Structure 1
Amino acid sequence: MKFRFIGALAIWLIPVIGYTSPTLKGTINELWVADNNHPNTIFIRVGDTFTSPCSTSPSRYLIMDLDEPGMKEAYSMAMAAFFSNMEVSIGGKGNCRGSLEKLQYINVIK
C-alpha cells in the first residue's frame, strides 16, 4: 500500500516540478530596472501575456536576478537586442520570486 501511495504522489508531482512558462519569441517590448520593490532585478517583456507557474493571472514579464550567474551577460544581450530591434527567444526556469518567474535563457536571433 505504501508503494502505491508513493507512486501516485510521484505521478502527481512530475508535472508540477517541471512546469515553466512557454518560450517567448519576438522583439523586446520593454526592458526596465530600478523598481524599489525588486532591487538588482531586470524586467523583460516580449509580446503580450503568457502563463507562468508563479502566478494565477497572466504574466507580462520574466525577471533577471543580477545576483545569479550569467544574468549580467543576459542583460547585456537583452540591451543589445532591444536597441538593435533584433528578435529574441526567452524562457523562464520555473523558479519564482513572488509572482515573477526568473529568466533561464535568452537567445538573440539574427
Structure 2
Amino acid sequence: MVTIPGAPLTSTGNIIPLVGFGTAEFPFSSSNEASRESALHAIKLGYRHFDTAALYQSEQPLGEAIAEALRLGLIKSRDELFITSKLWIVNAHRHLVLPDLQNTLKLVYTL
C-alpha cells in the first residue's frame, strides 16, 4: 500500500489525503464495472480520497467499490474515506440542491 501525504482539517483534526483518485472518464459513461473495479483497485493501493460527480456517472460504481472494500476488509469503515463530489450547474437552483445532494449520498454511501 502506498502512503499518501495528508493535511489536517482544522474543523475535525482528521487528516485529508493531498492526492485523490479521480473517477471521471471521457466520454462520460455508465460503464459501471470498469469504474467499480478501478475504484476498488485504488482502495487496495491506498487511496482514501476520491473525486466524483453525478455528471461523471461514477457515484454509484464508487459506492459499490466502497461496499466491496468493506466486505473484503480493505477498510474498516466509510469514515476512512473522503469523497469529493460536485453539484452540476443545472442543479444549482434552490429547490434542486438538497435532492441532488441526497442522491449523491444515496449512491455513494448507502449501498
TM over 0.5: no
Q: TM-score range by the shorter chain?
A: under 0.3
**Higher strand proportion (structure 1 or 2):** 1
